[in-house]
Amino acid sequence: MSTHSDSEPTYTMRDVAQRLGVSPMTVSRALRGQRGIGEDTRKRVLAEVAALGYRPNKAARGLRSGGPNELVGLVVTNLANPFYSQLAVGVEQISVGYGARVMLGSTGEDPAVEREVVTDMVERGVDGLVVVSAGHDHSHLGGGPLRDTPVVLAASPPIGIDVDCVLVDDFGGTRQACRELIARGHRRIGFLGLPPSLWTGSERLRGYALALEEAGLPMDERYVSQGRGDSALAEEAARTMLALDDPPTALLAANNRNTVGALRALRDRRDGGAAVTVAGFDDIELADMLHLPLTLVSYDPVEVGRAAARLLFERQASPAPPPPRRVTIATTLVDHPAPR
Amino acid sequence: MSTHSDSEPTYTMRDVAQRLGVSPMTVSRALRGQRGIGEDTRKRVLAEVAALGYRPNKAARGLRSGGPNELVGLVVTNLANPFYSQLAVGVEQISVGYGARVMLGSTGEDPAVEREVVTDMVERGVDGLVVVSAGHDHSHLGGGPLRDTPVVLAASPPIGIDVDCVLVDDFGGTRQACRELIARGHRRIGFLGLPPSLWTGSERLRGYALALEEAGLPMDERYVSQGRGDSALAEEAARTMLALDDPPTALLAANNRNTVGALRALRDRRDGGAAVTVAGFDDIELADMLHLPLTLVSYDPVEVGRAAARLLFERQASPAPPPPRRVTIATTLVDHPAPR
DNA sequence: CTGTTAGCGCATTCAC
DNA sequence: GTGAATGCGCTAACAG
């Protein structure tokens, strides 16, 4: 039985009603399991609905009932990054629990695109938004266009607006990693950073800087790069540092992309990179299977997504809007020795 | 300036019209850039719209105009798998080019959930669906509930229905990988497979089996597992094979999860696993950075998503529905020697 | 160029 | 227990 395209009609509630000689209201009630309708009538209706393959139009339903559309918008920079795809998994897990679906939007880290995406989602009637913002200022998420649509910021705190957020311990995690490198005797530690315009960028740099300071080590600008979170650029930056007369003996990468860049930069060295220690923020799959040892600032991105979605739905459920809340996800330093 | 929750009103088109002393139609026309309206009137309207922060309701618009909702549904089993998240990237790339957004649905490989998700998306008015189906039979994607909603199957051909699909060269890629192992002198090759109920599962097994047959090698059941595409199970299966009296000298993994399992199984061996060669379907990030050499059947999952979305929009655009089409994405065998 | 009428598909409100 | 009227927010189709 193949699906022919001979414009099979899309039935409406009235069609179902007419064939049964009842009013649309009866169909509506039967469909929603509302009480106040005869048991036999309900069965007749449901049978006809199944026979015709009628499907209610949820947009029309929402229009009239004014209730929530059971739809949350998820705005990220790039789903190909495992952090974001895992975040998405978390957001969806919680959302389905509330009967809601997730609408996706990628910004490519462009604030202008971010605004467009957010606006579009609001026009499409999302009940709330989980946003991983690319910019440092979030005023555009507060003013006119959003109105009542609640927003939860993930991975960065709200600036210029006052909304819920879920943070990762960027500062603490990076500081701990840097301390560990220092404890292992490293004195020249290169930092492969992110743009300071990103919250994660400035916080992780801050963790690195403080750990150095606490150890009485100088911060050498030649050992600090601020890339775009692109592994190729990070690799380039790492190579540059390692080509210095007094190269760093350890590299600390500010995110998973930069860790990959650092590893690549070490790949083809005479010693296979063994003379340089690498640490990085974010987990990396198969970190325990690499030819180099690797220390990672680890946490669960899925949980970040779950927490964000929970904040959204809790706010939606509460009659009196609670004050903005802030959830922080802890990090753990995990050591991955090389195999053998 | 913070967003207070003091129930700021959500304006409607009439509100805007009233404040301007014009009719809603004028606002509507101005908003959609429709011609046949005074230049000054348009400006006044747009100014008021901006001042109020009014946003049109796209659901209501679609309801009345009957046009497409510019919404595509993407149904996958698990976004955390890089294959699916990259697929999603591709689907979104093409969709935004057509002004459409992507709605997400995860099934966890449960056919019942898959049906629910698909039905829900149809009720929400998606213009089309890209589905990575968990089951072998897809009749549920053809009959009543879907009606006119076009479907594109990704990673498996339609069975029981007649729709567009995008395939990866599962059979050819696996055969090529297995041939390569044989060419390198391997005679006992373990296969870490997927459930035969999955298209990719049976096709990749077929490629393995044929390569063996072509080389006159027997197919030994002890060397074949059919897991769930779970890396822990794959690891277990690999360990079992390697514990045989005459263990395989090479492992061929049917997907990225199984490749990870294979690598893990080799991790703690006395020789570090160097005596066993690993090959696998799907790319793996940092494949070139592992301590073991790895041969992979590589292809671009983003392109799979792009191709699927293109099929969807092309069909939507064409007045006379074209016959079901089938796009196959080629694979390349890529050799990753271990570093050093 | 602008306004009026009507109705998309459905659910609230009130009759019966 | 069921049905009729009315309107959600918006836009075709037709006036003027």
The shortest C-alpha distance from B220 to chain A (Å) reads 29
Given an 8 Å threshold on Cβ–Cβ distance, is A89 in contact with B106? yes
Domain count, chain B: 3
Position A339 in a domain = no
Q: What is the pLDDT of residue B321?
A: 82
Which residues 248-287 of chain B have a CB within 8 Å of chain A? 260, 263-264, 267-268, 272-273, 284-286
Task: Assign A271 to helix, strand or coil.
Answer: coil
pLDDT band for position A5 (cuts 50, 70, 90) = very low
Residue A270 CA to residue A5 CA, distance in Å, equals: 63
CB pairs under 8 A between A and B: 205
Given an 8 Å threshold on Cβ–Cβ distance, is B56 in contact with A123? yes
pLDDT band for position B187 (cuts 50, 70, 90) = very high
Q: Supply the angle between the helices A301-317 and A82-97 in degrees, to the nearest 10.
A: 40
Q: Are B118 and B200 members of one domain?
A: no
Parallel, antiparallel or unpaired: strands B294-298 and B332-336: antiparallel
- State the CATH number of the domain containing residue B193: 3.40.50.2300
Q: Which of A56, A74, A99 is the last residue of a domain?
A: A56
Convert B179-205 into a string of H (helix), E (strand) and C (coil): HHHHHCCCCCEEEEECCCCCHHHHHHH
CB atoms within 10 A of CB B9: 10
Whole-number percent of chain A with pLDDT over 70: 96
Q: How far is the CA of A64 from the C1' of C12 (A)?
A: 8
Residue B92 sits at the chain A interface (C-beta within 8 Å): yes
Average pLDDT over residues B129-140: 90
Position A335 in a domain = no
pLDDT band for position A266 (cuts 50, 70, 90) = very high
Q: What is the pLDDT of residue A36?
A: 84
Q: Are B182 and B133 members of one domain?
A: no
Residue A243 sits at the chain B interface (C-beta within 8 Å): no
Residue in A57, A162, A267 closest to B125 by CB? A57
The shortest C-alpha distance from B33 to chain A (Å) reads 17
Q: Are B73 and B135 members of one domain?
A: yes
Position B22 in a domain = yes
Q: Which residue of B has its CA nearest to A76?
A: B89
Position A90 in a domain = yes
Nearest to A198 by CA among A230, A239, A235: A230
Mean pLDDT of chain A, nearest integer: 93
Q: List chain B residues with CB under 8 Å of A273.
A: 339
Residue B288 sits at the chain A interface (C-beta within 8 Å): yes
Q: How far is the CA of A55 from the C1' of D14 (A)?
A: 32
Q: What is the pLDDT of residue B179?
A: 98
The shortest C-alpha distance from A7 to chain B (Å) reads 7
Average pLDDT over residues A242-251: 96
Residue in B58, B86, B160 closest to A124 by CB? B58
Residue B58 CA neighbour count, 13 Å, CB half: 19
- A59 CB contact with strand D at below 7 Å: no
Given a contact cutoff of 8 angstroms between Cβ atoms, the answer to whether A146 and A122 are in contact is yes
Q: Are B317 and B247 members of one domain?
A: no
Position B129 in a domain = yes
Least reliable range by pLDDT among A11-20, B126-135, B143-152, B222-231 = B143-152
Given an 8 Å threshold on Cβ–Cβ distance, is B10 in contact with A338? no
pLDDT band for position B5 (cuts 50, 70, 90) = very low
pLDDT band for position A4 (cuts 50, 70, 90) = very low
Q: Are A24 and A110 members of one domain?
A: no
Q: What is the pLDDT of residue A6?
A: 39
Given an 8 Å threshold on Cβ–Cβ distance, is A125 in contact with B289? no
Position A273: which residue type?
A: G
Q: Are A85 and A163 members of one domain?
A: yes
Q: Are A285 and A216 members of one domain?
A: yes
Cβ within 7 Å of nucleic strand C, residues: A 10, 12-14, 24-25, 28, 31-32, 56-57, 60-61, 63-65, 67; B 21-26, 29, 36-38, 41-42, 60, 63-64, 66
Position A114 in a domain = yes
Q: Are A232 and A271 members of one domain?
A: yes
The answer to pTM > 0.85 is: yes
Average pLDDT over residues B305-334: 94
Q: What is the pLDDT of residue B275?
A: 87
CB atoms within 10 A of CB A217: 16
- State the CATH number of the domain containing residue B52: 1.10.260.40
Given an 8 Å threshold on Cβ–Cβ distance, is B123 in contact with A55? yes
Asked whether the predicted pLDDT for residue B2 surpasses 60, the reply is no
Torsion angle of the four alpha carbons B94, B100, B104, B105, in this order, in degrees rounded to the nearest 10: -100
Higher confidence at residue B73 or residue B144?
B73
Given an 8 Å threshold on Cβ–Cβ distance, is A63 in contact with B60? yes
Q: Are A175 and A287 members of one domain?
A: yes
Q: What is the pLDDT of residue B8?
A: 56
Which nucleotide shows the minimum CA-to-C1' distance to residue A39?
A: D1
Least reliable range by pLDDT among A103-107, B73-77, B86-90, B289-293 = B289-293
Q: Are B270 and B187 members of one domain?
A: yes
- B13 CB contact with strand D at below 7 Å: yes
Least reliable range by pLDDT among A55-64, B91-100, B144-153, B173-182 = B144-153
The shortest C-alpha distance from B308 to chain A (Å) reads 17
Average pLDDT over residues B289-300: 95
Higher confidence at residue B35 or residue B97?
B97
Asked whether the predicted pLDDT for residue A146 surpasses 80, the reply is no
Average pLDDT over residues B255-263: 96
Average pLDDT over residues A198-205: 95
Asked whether the predicted pLDDT for residue A128 surpasses 90, the reply is yes
Residue in A79, A291, A302 closest to B339 by CB? A291
Mean pLDDT of chain B, nearest integer: 93
Position B339 in a domain = no
Average pLDDT over residues A249-276: 92
Q: Are A255 and A312 members of one domain?
A: no
Place of tokens 């999302």: A126
- The residue lying closest to nucleotide C8, measuring its CA against C1', is B64
**A23-39 confidence digits (pLDDT tens):** 999 999 999 998 889 99
Tokens of residue B128, six digits: 């089309």
Least reliable range by pLDDT among A5-14, A268-277, B98-107 = A5-14
Position B338 in a domain = no
Q: Which of B18, B35, B56 is the last residue of a domain?
A: B56
Q: List chain B residues with CB under 8 Å of A294.
A: none
Residue B103 sits at the chain A interface (C-beta within 8 Å): yes
Domain with A28, as residue range(s), is 2-56
Convert chain B into a string of H (helix), E (strand) and C (coil): CCCCCCCCCCCCHHHHHHHHCCCHHHHHHHHCCCCCCCHHHHHHHHHHHHHHCCCCCHHHHHHHHCCCCCEEEEEECCCCCHHHHHHHHHHHHHHHHCCCEEEEEECCCCHHHHHHHHHHHHHCCCCEEEECCCCCCCHHHCCHHHCCCCEEEECCCCCCCCCEEEEECHHHHHHHHHHHHHHCCCCCEEEEECCCCCHHHHHHHHHHHHHHHHCCCCCCHHHEEECCCCHHHHHHHHHHHHCCCCCCCEEEECCHHHHHHHHHHHHCCCCCCCCCEEEEECCCCCHHHECCCEEEEECCHHHHHHHHHHHHHHHHHCCCCCCCCEEEECCEEEEECCCC
Q: Which of B56, B83, B99 is the last residue of a domain?
A: B56
Asked whether the predicted pLDDT for residue A205 surpasses 80, the reply is yes
Asked whether the predicted pLDDT for residue A51 surpasses 80, the reply is yes
C-alpha distances in Å from residue A4, one per residue of B73, B146, B162: 21, 12, 8
pLDDT band for position B144 (cuts 50, 70, 90) = low
The shortest C-alpha distance from A177 to chain B (Å) reads 22
Q: Are B30 and B133 members of one domain?
A: no
